[in-house]
Structure 1
Amino acid sequence: MTSPSPIDWSARADLAQDSLDHFYGAPEPQFLTNWVPAAPGSNDTFNYWWLAHALDARLDAFERTSDPLRLEQALAIRSNLLARNEDSLFNDYFDDMLWFALALHRLAAATGDQTFHAEAVAVWEHTVAHGWNDIEGASLSWRTQQPYYKNAPANGPFIILSARLFVDTADDKFLTYGKQSFDWLTQTLVNPKDGFVEDGINRAEDHAIDLQWRFTYNQGLYIGACVELAAATGDASLLDAAERTALTAVRELTTDGVFTQEGTDGDEGLFKGVYYRYLQTLLAVRAVPALSEFVQTSTDRLWASSPVDGWLFPGNDWNAAPTVSMPYSTMLSAIMATEVRARAER
């Protein structure tokens, strides 16, 4: 009796990447259709931050394969994002800009073109100049119009970018701001008992924490913040904090081995992908068998539930095939998780 052939997860990752183009590819300037099947008005929104994560996903493929096509795809996304944003790096949302900056920082490393590194620094400087204040404690606000509203989605990527820029440049300003933001996030939104990360505070100018929003990407961002600051400072205890939050997220936010659906507006489709991306940064420096098992189980479920005519077309619940129109944000999470699995299998 012969045993079944092992699954080629790198081939699956390539198929996932190509499925994005197969289902969602569109002529310029749209570039990627927001929803499939599309409905009237579904492409009216310019999803700046989705494109930033699409750029990140293409860089995952390039790092895995060294295929110049994947790098060309990444560069095309950057060009499309800037063209649709009136050739500006900036918008009103600090988290959006920071997602893009993190991808640009990686693009600089992939290409050797320091233009992209300078753009990442420019975003960092812009967020400090326009979004940093002392309301509710020294930290970064979510967007220009709400300087009083502070949350994990803005401060998390700010910490990660700050730590990475410090490692690159040894400029203390990056580490000073990054650590201050991290301390604020830990003291304000992280449960000291189990490490669960709440979403934000003072949204309605009432000093209240939004306990009702229990999202996977906040957990992923804190994991990434801990890992990157540990690399920047040598403080290994931060890896303990990252592991605690990662395990709590799996315990609190999964059903039958996968993260539950977090919403149907589109943005939520990307949340679990952020968790996988930064979980990978932890697993790269620390073996945590329970978390490795989670990656295996959940991606197995994803691929069991999502094939469509030889392609990958996931829903937000990876235990079931999608039954309604799906945004490409959901596809991006599936791509990112599959890339993590492919890396683990290597």
Structure 2
Amino acid sequence: MTTTTPDPARVQTWAGRADVAQHSVDLLYGAAPPQLLHNGHPEPADTTFNYWWLAHVVDCRLDAYARTGDDAWLDAARATAANIRERNDGSLFNDYFDDMLWYALALLRLAEATPDDGERAALEADVVALWEHVVTLGWNDVHGPSLSWRKQQPDYKNTPANGPLAILGARLARRTGDGAYLDRALATVAWLEEHLVGPDGFVEDGLGREGGTDVDTHWRFTYNQGLYVGACVELYRATGDAGWLDRAERTALTSVRELATDGVFRREGDLVDDDVPDTAGGDVGLFKGVWYRYAALLLEERAVPAVEDLVRTSTDALWAHGLVPHDGVRPADGASAAAVEGVRQAGVVLRPGDDWTRPAPTQVGYSTLLSAVMALEVRARRA
């Protein structure tokens, strides 16, 4: 049997580090079909079908494809998109409107990366089907015209559902030229600004979760800030109105000021999984990844030094504290040969916790690693 000597030069660039992060997902969580990825490491924790986590895996694979041009990453994105539908009994739809919108956003990016006309048209048709399903079943006038979080709670409205709707609407408007998508996006952001965006741009999570009109002000999450930033940037791109960039910048700066500690996002409201002994992950593990994805859109349009600084300081901390030797980690039972070889050549595996200023706890969900992947892909683009 041949062995590969680790090459430290492979991890001296941020692009190389992003490669390590991508391979680490498959090494730590790879599973035989139809599971595709175990939910946890070292314990698989596969009770839940995490539809929305997988939608973000599609996005992460597309990030790698955009950076490298390697068709293997595009194939991985395709396989993950198909896996969501296969494990969802062949259906595009579930009960959560935010889940379906994450899937639609990923499928739209996949369509844009797909050269085959027939395959691209089929993906675009799925995006439109998801849009129509969400708007038809989820949009109502409770608390003002806006989208519900899930089918079972039509009176609960939040940023996690309305943010992706606005982003998708603006993108579809640009792609198709259909002004109805833009109108919906504008109406959605207007509702957010009336109910959940404060004077300083800080974005609250939702209202009406327990009935009534109470706002969940104790849930101070990075991903809500990222979603509003992304919606504003996409509305700028759709309308040309630079005022949208002003709003995006205000919220991005406020999120850094309010939610970062010493240059790192360490807490998510009162739901930090690292506060539970020996665990990290869950849905909260993905939250800051959403912030990085959409903050990066703002940086593509406008220099915002405080945001650039946060990307640098936080990914520096991630790389300093999230690494383990490749021969000190038990690979998942479905780890791909490419992932095993990739981390062997690098000599390290990225296995962070939710707090990037300290080593990971014993059990880590792959949602947490996806946030790290997204952050490192942004750093690689900005390096």
TM-score after normalising by structure 1: 0.96
* 1:164 pairs with one of 171, 175, 197: 171
Partner in structure 2 of residue 327 of structure 1: 365
Letter in 2 for 1:234: G
Provide, for residues 223-274 of structure 1, a one-character-per-residue CA deviation record: whole Å limited to 9, x for no partner.
0000000111111011011011011111111122111132226000000000
Partner in structure 1 of residue 12 of structure 2: 7
1:104 paired to 2:111:
no
Structure 1 distance, partners of 2:77, 2:180, is 29
Alignment root-mean-square deviation, CA? 1.1
Partner in structure 1 of residue 24 of structure 2: 19
Partner in structure 1 of residue 247 of structure 2: 241
Provide, for residues 298-337 of structure 1, a one-character-per-residue CA deviation record: whole Å limited to 9, x for no partner.
1000000011111100100000001230100000000000
Q: 3-state SS of the aligned residue for 1:284?
A: helix
* 1:272 pairs with one of 288, 296, 320: 288
Structure 2 distance, partners of 1:338, 1:320, is 17
Partner in structure 1 of residue 341 of structure 2: none
Partner in structure 2 of residue 129 of structure 1: 136
Letter in 1 for 2:14: W
Partner in structure 2 of residue 337 of structure 1: 375
Partner in structure 1 of residue 161 of structure 2: 154
* 1:38 pairs with one of 24, 40, 43: 43
- Equivalent pairs, count: 338
* Aligned residues of 2:227 and 2:294 also touching (Cα < 8 A): yes
* 1:117 pairs with one of 102, 113, 124: 124
Q: After superposition, where does 1:282-293 map in structure 2 within 5 Å?
A: 282-293=298-309
Unmatched 5+ stretches in structure 2 = 1-8, 274-280, 326-347
Unmatched 5+ stretches in structure 1 = none
Q: After superposition, where does 1:300-315 map in structure 2 within 5 Å?
A: 300-309=316-325, 310-315=348-353
Shift of 1:7: 3.3
Shift of 1:62: 0.4
* Aligned residues of 2:156 and 2:208 also touching (Cα < 8 A): yes
Q: 3-state SS of the aligned residue for 2:301?
A: coil
Partner in structure 2 of residue 255 of structure 1: 261
1:201 paired to 2:207:
yes
Partner in structure 1 of residue 33 of structure 2: 28
Structure 2 distance, partners of 1:11, 1:114, is 34
Letter in 1 for 2:174: V
Q: 3-state SS of the aligned residue for 1:210?
A: coil
Structure 2 distance, partners of 1:203, 1:295, is 32
Partner in structure 1 of residue 225 of structure 2: 219
Q: 3-state SS of the aligned residue for 2:212?
A: coil
Partner in structure 2 of residue 184 of structure 1: 191
Q: After superposition, where does 1:53-132 map in structure 2 within 5 Å?
A: 53-112=56-115, 113-132=120-139
Structure 2 distance, partners of 1:87, 1:78, is 12
TM-score after normalising by structure 2: 0.87
Greater CA deviation, 247-256 or 334-343?
Answer: 247-256
Provide, for residues 135-186 of structure 1, a one-character-per-residue CA deviation record: whole Å limited to 9, x for no partner.
0000000000000000000000000000000001111110111110110001
